[in-house]
Amino acid sequence: MLSVEEKQEIAKMLEACPMPRAGCIEALTVVQRHRGWVSDEGVIDVAALLGMTPAEVDSVATFYNFIFRGPVGRHVVLLCDSISCWVMGYENLLDHLKTKLGVEPGGTSADGRFTLLPNVCLGACDEAPAMMVDDELYGRLTPAKIDEILERYP
């Protein structure tokens, strides 16, 4: 069941859409903001609200990088893996993060704090190598700098 808040937020977003199903991505985004990720139940809830089938909603949800169909940690680390960051040392940073968090890409640390997701070009190529943690962008990374940044996310 969608909560009252979820319904209100989705309704507000649908104002910009000529038809309910055009707000499918917005609705999934709202659900994810409230629940951390989009479960099967979330897909079914959105489908019922927009007059779509769950399969239709799932086909949208699984297409996009930022709709999570599995649970994630309290914070999401998006490490840029595209060309400029690769040139500037992405592979070393990935190894560092894998060791530090004890996960493979896509995994969540045992304490539930971080999910590590390599991500396509973050548009910070002049600051490479770069990553985002939740909504915050960090550039010119080194392993030491990564350690210091992660400390800020309990």
Partner 1 sequence: MERPLTQHIRPDRSPLSISEYEKTGGYQAARKALKTMDPKSVTDTVINATLRGRGGAGFSTGRKWSFIPKDAPPQRYLVVNADEMEPGTFKDRLLLEGNPHQLIEGMIIAAFAIQADTAYIFLRRAYRLAAARLEKALAEARAAGYLGKNIFGSGRSLEIHVHMSAGRYICGEETALINALEGRRANPRSKPPFPQISGLFGKPTIVNNVETLCNVPHIIGKGVDWFKSLALTEDGGTKLYGASGKVKKPGLWELPLGTSAREILEEHAGGMRDGLKFKGLLPGGASTDFLVEKHLDLPMDFNALGAAGSRLGTGTMIVMDDRTCPVGFVHNLIRFFAQESCGWCTPCREGLPWVEKTLAAIEAGKGKDGDVEILEMHAKALGMGNTYCALAPGAMEPLASALLYFRDDFTRHIKEQGCPWR
Element (H, E) at 24: helix 24-35
Report how far apart, in Å, the C-alpha atoms of 26 and of each of 13, 31, 40, 104 are: 7, 9, 17, 30
| Closest to 108 measured CA to CA, from 30, 25, 36 | 36
Among residues 11, 35, 36, 86, the one that binds partner 1 under rule CB under 8 A: 86
User: Residue 111 CB, nearest distance to partner 1 (Å)?
Assistant: 25
Rounded CA separation 85/122 (Å):
9
Question: Does 145 engage in binding with partner 1 (CB under 8 A)?
Answer: no
Q: Which is nearer to partner 1, 25 or 149 (CB)?
A: 25
Nearer to partner 1 among residue 59 and residue 99 (C-beta): 59
Interface pick for partner 1 out of 29, 108, 109, 115 (rule CB under 8 A): 29
Instruction: Tell me whether residue 50 or residue 97 sits nearer to partner 1 (CB atom).
Output: 50
**Does residue 87 interact with partner 1 by CB under 8 A?**
yes
Q: Is 151 in the site for partner 1 (CB under 8 A)?
A: no
Secondary structure class of 116 (helix, strand, coil): strand
Q: In what order do the strands lie in the sheet with 131-133?
A: 114-119, 75-80, 131-133, 136-138
Q: Is 59 in the site for partner 1 (CB under 8 A)?
A: yes
Question: What amino acid is encoded at 125 in this protein?
Answer: C
CA 118 – CA 93 distance, rounded (Å): 11
Range in contact with partner 1 (rule: CB under 8 A) among 4-12, 103-111, 128-136, 144-152: 128-136
Residues near partner 1 (CB under 8 A): 16-19, 21-26, 28-29, 50, 59-60, 63-67, 78, 81-84, 86-88, 119-128, 132, 135-137
